[in-house]
Every structure is written in structure tokens, then in C-alpha cells.
Structure 1
Amino acid sequence: MTGWRRSFASLPSAAALRARAACTAAVAAGASLVAGCGVLPGDPGGSREPVTVMTFAPQDTPATNMPGMPSMAKAYARWAASRGGLDGRELRVLTCNSDNTPQGSAACARRAVDEKVVAVVGSYSQHGSFMAPLEAAGIPFIGGYGISEEEFTSYLSYPVNGGQPALLAGNGQQLAGSCDGVALVRPDTLAGDDLFQLLNSGLKKGRSDATTTDILAADDATDYTEQAVDARSRASEHPAASSAPSERPGCVTAALGDRTETFFDSFRRLPEDGEEVRVSSVMGSVGQPLIDRTGGRKGPFEGAYVTGWYPDAGDSRWDPMREVIGEHAFGDNTVDPADAGVQTTWIAYTVLEKAVRALGGEAVTPARLAHVLDQGLQVSTDGLTPELRWGYEDMLGAPNYPRIVNGSVTFQVVRDGRLVAERKEFVDVSDTLAAAS
């Protein structure tokens, strides 16, 4: 069964949905609170009524799972309650299992509409089917994980990172100075189709003669020996333009979500062939929990390059989040502060809280939240990201990713079994994303 759902009889009427969508479009266009839009049909009316939101993510699936995201959302709600709520309002968090399917994602979105949430916050889906029900109801999507196309195209999406596109573009730039041939192993899915072009664009920006190979793989396989052999062979091929022996190794980078561990397990079992090959990946496919689980400094990821969105997990800027997890997650071991999904949810709820505070005494409605974000609310995340704004002038505007407002990534490396910063500062890959588009 997918998440939880009610019968369609309890959904808002078609007239209410049309009115809600029209009012949202009006405020997004700068028309302020036009007549009839002060409180949209189905929105709460009191200025201090509870703020109800949803966080959804896949759990207990054979592919990618993100249980820490809804768990982080619930811990945030308990922390908010301990401080008197969001600007004096109770924060109610609904959670939903999206099952990592289009149907599951859409079912969670329909439940969000049915429950009259004011926003969907800090959620994960690689399937953009969730956006249509939210758009019809005028509900903003704040701080998605960054893996579906709709997160960077929908006028009601407010991303906090550059998503998979920024990670792959950044990974190419990170590898450019260290690798000759690069083999990318990525899912044979619609979401994976753009990854090769993005990585190649970043690689070429740093080193024009580097070679790149695209290797497709199922995102739910139990063995990747065939792809591992192919990747090792292709990464060891040196650029044809180079006449002198190369001093750089080949690199294999994989972006297979939860199955990245399975791929590198197959990779490390290959017999040695005398060629040095470095491994690499992106946050969300490789993180500190996986490195710990596979042997730390004695495991296959020692020395690996990893591109992330945020500072490394040991950075002191994460201390407030760690304190909240320690005090309000009640020992829930799915809430790992080193997990990129948990981190994204923390940042997304930071945005929500500051947007609610910006409304002052006004009732919190989907239209008002979207309006305050559209009008250029500036959100500081205390250094976890560059300052975030979603005004028209702040967006990347690239054809494939018009809603990206944060094109920055971080370069990390595994040393002594710990993910640490390779560079301290953020690296802006906005130009690479625009070129890849």
C-alpha cells in the first residue's frame, strides 16, 4: 500500500481549487492580496492557528530510501514546540511514504491537498508526479532533495540546493584536476539521462582533453560486476590527444543512490590489473554513514572524491542541528546528522520558519507563503548554504533548471575514513549548469 490516502470525496471542490490556483498566481505575479484572496478556500483563517505541513520520502523500498527526512521533520516540530512554535504558532508535521514510485509520490501530494497543508517541506522524490496536485492547490514545495526535474521548473518549487544537476556538474569540475579518463556509472532512468552531460560539462570546464564514458545500470540490481569491469577498463584509457605518459589516474564515479554501495562492492572485488583507478561519487550516493558501514579507512572509499551541497558533516555549522537531533529525535537512529537528506530537511524547515516569521500576524496560507518567498525573502542558513532568495532576479534561468537559486557545491575527500573538506569554500557551478543546458 502506498502511504495513506483518503477517498476523493474529501478533496476540495473544483471551484475551490480554481480559486486557490488563481489567487496563488496573482500573488506570485506581484498583485499582493487581491480581493477574495485574503484567505483562500480551504485555508486556515486565524492568525495564530496551527501551521500544518507535510514531509514525504521513500521508505522500505528495494531502491532508494530516505527515512531520516520525515524523522528529522518530526524532531524539528518537537523542537519548535519547545520554543513556543513558529512565531507563536503550533507546527504540525504530517509524513508520508512515497514508495519511490510515481504513484506513491502523487498519492502523498493528494494527501497533502486533502489535509490542507500550507506547504510540503524537506521531501524526496525522483518522480515529478507530486507537483501537479500541489500546483492545482497552490501549495508551495519548499526544499526538496533536488532529484526531480519539476523541483527546478515549477513556479511553486523553492529549492535550497542545486540538486543532482549541481552535484554532477561539480563532480566533473572536482575530478578535472585529478583524473584523465572518467567513467560515470548512473541509473538507466529518465532522471539519470542528464547526468552524463552534466558531469562531462564540468570535466571539460576544468580540462578539455579528459575523456568521459557513460555506463548505464539498473538502479535496483544486486550485482554490478559487468558495469564495474567496463568502468575500470574505460577509466584506464588515456586521452588520445596526450602523447606523453599520464601522471593522473583514471577515475570511476557512480551515482546510483542506495545501490552505489552495491556497485562499489562489485568494483572492489575485481582482480588488480596494475592500473591506478580512483573512485568518486556525489552526496546522496556516498556519505559518512556508508563509509562507516563499509570499513572506514580500510574500506573501498578511502581516498574517494565526493561532491556535496553543504559543508562536511563534521563542520561546526551543523552543531545546532546536532543539538536538536540529540534532544528531540528520541534515539531514532534514522536521523543521522551526516545524511544529506536529513541535512536538506533541516535547511528546508529553517526556510519555512523564517517565511512564517516574515508574515507577522497574518494567517499562514499557501498563497501567503509563496508570495513572501517570491518577493525576495532573504534566508540565512548560518553558512550551511549561501544566502537563499527566490526572487526572479536570483534564479539561474537556464532552460533546464530555471528555478535554481543555489548553484554552489562543496568538494570533499575521504581521509582516514572521514569525509572532510577538500576545499573550505563553496564552489559555484552555475556557469557549468547553464552551459550544460
Structure 2
Amino acid sequence: MRSRSAMAALAVGATLALAACGSSGTTGESSPAADGPKASPVKLLSIVPLTTPTTNFPEQAGAAKAAVRALNKRGGINGHPVQIDVCDSKNDQAAGEACAQKAVNGKYLAVVSAFSTAGGINAILEKAGIPSIGASGIAGDGSDLTSKISFVYQPASTYYEAVCAPLLKDTAKISKMGVVNYDIAAAARLGVLAGLGGKSAGVGTQEIKV
């Protein structure tokens, strides 16, 4: 049952990762609408920086909540409403670890769209078997790219497309990778960059368009 739920959360995570491109909002919980699905909720936690002196993403929290509201209006996941809460990582290891522990203590199904340049989050999630879906891939300890519970996919950028293949080859010893890209003309160059990055690192690259 948990395996099936985790796969459902993976699909939700994709929606939230894409939604993080826009919208705005505040922290806190996004509860199911009164007229939404009534079964037991699927609990997700988004870990993002909100109160740092430099890099903050309140719009990511808002976009995730908007995506969940839309999903719940369509019946949730097999009749189960989705609940998303937000935890401030502060781009700080202690704060990130506290967020990860919140996911464990609160029995969250998954962490989605995690963004933190500090490490420590995935080690805690891995011990509890909680997947991190849609992480940014920039954790200082490299765990976003190496942890077995980490599934990195974010809106593509030049940085990720160009360097993911060499990083993954060095840290995870991969020989091939898949790149999920938008099936629009404006995104075509990103697939090319990914292919060039893979070629330079000796990593076979397959582009999947959605």
C-alpha cells in the first residue's frame, strides 16, 4: 500500500515541481476544501528557504499549495485529499534537519520540491524511508544526487542540464541518464545541452519529452 501511495506521491511531486515555476503564497498548511475528497489525507511536506538574508522562495510554497488545491478539486488521489505543509529550510543545515525530522515525526508520505544548499536532510529521510521528490539537486553534501530516496527533477536550467551528467557520473557512478524536458520549441536547447553534458562525461543520455 505504501509503495502504491509513494508512486502516487511521485506524480503529485511532478505537478508541484512544475507549479513551483510561478504563483505566490505564504507558509503553513493547505487543507482539503470543504467540498473536496473525504478519505484519509495524503500528507506531503515542502522544504524551502523562506527567511534567509538572500535566497527565499515564498512563491514556491504558494505554487505548491495552488497545485494541491487544484488536485483536490479533481478528487485528490484515488479519493484521498492531498495535504501539503511547508517548512523553512533557511538554507541552514540545522533548520533543514529539523524540517526532515518534522517529516518523520508527522508521518508524511513524501517531501516534495526540497531546496536547500545545506546537507543533512536526506540522511534523516532515508532512515525513515521517506522519498524526496523534485529536489533541487544542490545539497552541499551531494545527497540530492546520491541518496536512494532522492528523485531530482526541477524545471530545467542551463546549470542542471550542463553539469548533472558529470556530477552523477562522479558521485553515483552512472553510465546513462534520462532527461525529462518540455515538448515545446523553447525547451529544445535544454535537451541539446543535456546531451552535450552527457557526451563530455561519457554518459549516455535519453531525452523524454512531456
TM-score range for the pair, normalised by the shorter chain length: 0.5 to 0.7
**Match of 1:432?**
200
Residues 167/50 of structure 1: CA separation in 2 closer, same or farther (3 Å cut): same
Q: Out of 87, 107, 124, which is 1:133 matched to? A: 124
Equivalences for residues 265-344 of structure 1 within 5 A: none
1:199-210 alignment, distance < 5 Å: none
- Out of 85, 102, 109, the residue aligned to residue 93 of structure 2 is 102
Aligned length: 159
CA distance in 1, matches of 2:187, 2:68: 34
2:151 matches 1:158: yes
In the TM superposition, residue 128 of structure 1 has moved relative to its aligned partner by 2.2
Secondary structure of the equivalent of 1:108? Answer: helix
Supply the distance in 2 between the matched residues of 1:83 and 1:402 (Cα, whole angstroms).
Answer: 41
| Post-superposition CA distance 1:30-86 (Å, at most 9, x none) | xxxxxxxxxxxxxxxxxx521101001001211221222221111111111211112
Task: Tell me: CA distance 1:423–1:434, structure 2 relative to 1, closer, same or farther (3 Å).
Answer: same
2:146, 2:172 within 8 Å by CA — same for their partners in 1?
A: yes
**Letter of the structure 2 residue corresponding to residue 426 of structure 1:** G
Where relative contact order (Cα < 8 A, 6+ residues apart) is larger, the structure is 1
Cα separation, 1, equivalents of 2:188 and 2:107: 43
Whether 1:398 aligns to 2:169 is: yes
Matching residue of 1:167: 159
- 1:339 is matched with which residue? none
- Structure 2 letter corresponding to 1:158: F
- Uncovered stretches (5+) of structure 1, i.e. residues with no partner: 1-22, 25-47, 171-197, 203-395, 411-419
Query: Is the CA contact 1:152–1:402 (under 8 Å) kept in the aligned structure 2?
Result: no
Q: Which runs of 5+ in 2 are unaligned?
A: 4-38, 204-210
**2:34 is matched with which residue?**
none
The 3-state SS of whatever aligns with 1:94 is strand
> Could you report, residue by residue, the CA deviation over 1:70-125 in whole angstroms, capped at 9, with x for unpaired residues?
21111111111211112211101011111111111111101111110010011211
- Secondary structure (helix, strand or coil) at the match of 1:79 reads helix
Displaced runs of 4+ in structure 1, greater than 4 A? 161-164, 401-405, 407-410, 422-425
- 1:331 maps to which residue? none
List per-residue Cα deviations over 1:405-425 (Å, max 9, x = no partner): 444789xxxxxxxxx948557
Identity %: 30
**TM-score, normalised relative to structure 2:** 0.63
- Structure 1 range deviating more: 80-89 or 132-141: 80-89
Partners of 1:162 and 1:408 within 8 A in 2: no
Q: 1:83 to 1:103 in 2, by over 3 A?
A: same
Please report the RMSD computed on the Cα atoms of aligned residues, expressed in angstroms.
3.5
In structure 1, what is the equivalent of residue 43 of structure 2? Answer: 52
